Structure 1
Amino acid sequence: MRKIVLLTFFVFTNLLIAQESIDSIAKKSIWSLTYKDALQLSKKEKKPLLVYFKGSDWCGPCKKLDQELFSTEKFKHFSDNYFILYEADIPFNQDLVTKERLELNKKLAKKFKVSSYPTLLVLNHKQKILGVKKGLILTEYYYPFFENYIK
């Protein structure tokens, strides 16, 4: 009987830990899709793609934008309903992203002529640019920009 109780406890505890891990991964980053997956999801869900070009470890305005806009519940709710997200991070510390992702992000920056950070691009699933927002502005001013591309 004791073995059954211990086994049940062990299984239940591991299930809780696994669920917490899944939840923490989901909450960790709303920008976790690959670019290819983001494009496919954009097509499937008929939502524009919001591409965020940033330098996570060197760009002060990017850090501020992450904290004051992208980490808010308001943005998470808004983006869940209206956008597919892709983060094109180009950090100085190249250990912060995979080599493949860094190379892709640099290619995307070149393709879309991104030379300042932060830059937000709104694309359709065919990679046509629908809108561009460069630099840091007051957080609430991003929403009218976003709303131009969800109607």
Structure 2
Amino acid sequence: MKLLLITLFSFFVATTANWQLNFEQAKHEASQSHKLILLNFSGSDWCGPCIKLKKDIFGSDVFQAFANEHLILVRADFPRLSKNQLDAKQTAHNEALAEKYNQQGKFPLTVLLDANGKVLKEWDGYPQSLTPSSFVESIQALAASSK
């Protein structure tokens, strides 16, 4: 039983896409692995569409499997509740990312970038017609055309 639980936990960890917080590290990893960067601006404790996007799209098995193979994921979170506040260094880092990639302060905003930080596509908000499969397909099309 213990071996089964360890195996299931290992599988879950291996198939769950990990969101990074450091954009420079993500750029380095993307250049080494020839992957694209998906940068998500989120208000994790106040933005309803951000929470829904995280759950319905980013949390889906379809997206997770694709992301593990093809993307470096970065989340720039801007929580409002005092109990969820980030440390000063992370807040400054996220604000610098917003200054460069989200000057209008849109939430959610998801940006697909190449390893050099060049914007390939932006998704503003969470369109109701968006599904995990359609989102992955749009990234695949952009990835193919950017090579």
* Alignment partner of 2:30 out of 5, 28, 42: 42
Q: Which 4+ residue blocks in structure 1 deviate beyond 6 angstroms?
A: 22-29
Distance 2:98 2:110 in 1: 11
TM-score normalised by structure 2 residue count: 0.78
**Cα distance, 1:150 vs structure 2:** 1.9
TM-score normalised by structure 1 residue count: 0.76
Give the structure with higher Rg (CA).
1
**Cα distance, 1:30 vs structure 2:** 1.8
Pairing 1:106-145 to 2, within 5 Å after superposition: 106-112=95-101, 113-137=103-127, 138-140=129-131, 141-145=134-138
Does 2:58 match 1:79? no
Structure 2 stretches of 5 or more lacking a match? none
Distance 2:13 2:70 in 1: 21
SS of match in other structure, 1:57: coil
Which deviates more, 134-143 or 53-62? 134-143
Aligned residues: 134
**Cα distance, 1:103 vs structure 2:** 1.3
SS of match in other structure, 2:20: coil
Report % sequence identity: 27
Cα deviation code 1:4-50 (max 9, x no counterpart): xxxxxxxxx9xx99xx6x88877776213521211111100111100
